[in-house]
Amino acid sequence: MAIKKSTYTGTTGRLMLHSPYAAQVPAEAIISHTFTEAVAAADILELAYLPPFCRLLSVIMVTVGTGAVTATVGLMSGEVGSTDPARTSGNEIFNAVTPTTEQRAALAALVAVEPAGVARSIGVRFSGNVAANAATKLHFRITYATGR
């Protein structure tokens, strides 16, 4: 098992998600990941992170070219950007969904994710291998805000 990185969680030239500076004011980001390296079924793609003290308001995901695999998306253990192979990824956001059509996270799932004082990685696990291909993409729109 390996932890694969996106441009938001890699160590060189990492893109930053902005942190809301006023409570209850939503921030939104669209994250697009191109599969320049293969992701095996046992791997975790560390796609993005939820900034400190933020809660999820909306998550929408769709893939292009990933084939008939399902995706499970949740919060990861450990620190953002860590390559520790003992890290795990949960299923708080999506559990075994088919992302070739647009998927919207359930409100009940988002409400269950409590804010925390540290940034938390968002990981994606696929049910099968996703080959490296410049045309294979994962698009992820996340809306979040500080406060409860």
* Mean pLDDT score, 140-145: 96
Amino acid at 114: E
**What was the pLDDT predicted at 15?**
67
Residue 17 β-bridge partners: none
Cα dihedral sign for 13, 14, 15, 17?
negative
Among 4-18, 32-46, 98-112, 134-148, the range scoring the smallest mean pLDDT is 4-18
Among 10-24, 93-107, 132-146, the range scoring the smallest mean pLDDT is 10-24
Among 18-32, 50-64, 102-116, the range scoring the smallest mean pLDDT is 18-32
Predicted confidence band of residue 19 (pLDDT cuts 50, 70, 90): confident
Among 9-13, 61-65, 68-72, the range scoring the smallest mean pLDDT is 9-13
Among 6-10, 42-46, 70-74, 80-84, the range scoring the smallest mean pLDDT is 6-10
* Mean pLDDT score, 97-110: 95
* Mean pLDDT score, 9-38: 82
Global pTM value: 0.92
142 Cβ neighbours under 8 A, 6+ residues apart: 17, 28, 29, 31, 48, 50, 56, 58, 59, 122
Q: Is 98 helix (H, G, I), strand (E, B) or coil?
A: coil
